Amino acid sequence: MTSKQTRLLQRAGKPLVFSASLLPLAWLFWLGWNDQLGANPVETLTHRTGSWSLRFLLLTLAVTPVRRLTGWNGLQRFRRMLGLFAFFYVCLHFSVYLVFDHFFDGSAIIADIAKRPYITVGFAAFLLLVPLAATSTNRMIKRLGRNWQRLHRLVYVIGIFGVLHYLWLVKADIREPLLYAGILAGLLGYRLGWRYTHRS
C-alpha cells in the first residue's frame, strides 16, 4: 500500500466506522417500520440494543491488543468512537427499558434494581460508563492527566458487569453471553500478561 493510499484510508476510516456503527440502529428502524420485531417488540429492542452495547464495548477493548499485535497504529484513532458508540447503544438499551418496559415508573425501576441481580449489575455498568463518556474529549484528557487513565480502566469492570448482566438475564441458550465472556477473558488476560512482561 502506497503512502497516498494509506492517507486516503486514514481520512476515510472515521466516516466509514461511524457509518458502519449506525447500521445496527438502521436495521432496527427497518424491522420496526416493517413490523418485523417479532411477537414482543420491546423484548427484541432490549435484546438487540444490549447486545450491540456489549459488542462495541468489546471492540473498544480489542483495539489496543490488535494494534500491538499487528503494528497498525492507525487503529487507535477509532477507539474513542467505538467507546462512544458503546455508550450510545447502552443509552438506547436503558431508554427502551425505561420508556417501553416500565413507562417511566420510577418505583418499579427501583424495585427491579433492588430485587434482580442482572438489573443491578446492568444499571451499575451504565452508571460507570457515564463518566467515561463525559471525559472522552481531548480537553478532559489533558485536564485529568494521569487520573484519566485510572478512571478509564473502569471499562474492564464495566465489561465484566455487562457480561454478568447478559449471563444472568438469559434463561436457556447461553452460548452468546459465554462467547462474550470468553472474548473479555482473553482481552483481560492479554492486558495483564502485557503489563507483567513489560514491568519485568
Query: Which tens digits make up the pLDDT trace of 23-82?
Result: 999 999 999 999 999 889 999 999 999 999 999 999 999 999 998 888 888 888 899 999
Tell me how many degrees the CA angle 111-155-128 measures, rounded to the nearest 5.
35
- Cell 477507539 found at: 79
CA atoms within 13 A of residue 152's CA, in its CB half-sphere = 21
Look at residue 90 in the predicted model and tell me its pLDDT: 97
DSSP secondary structure letter of residue 73 = G
Task: State which of 61-75, 87-101, 183-197 shows the largest mean pLDDT.
Answer: 87-101
- Using an 8 Å Cβ cutoff, are 132 and 80 in contact? no
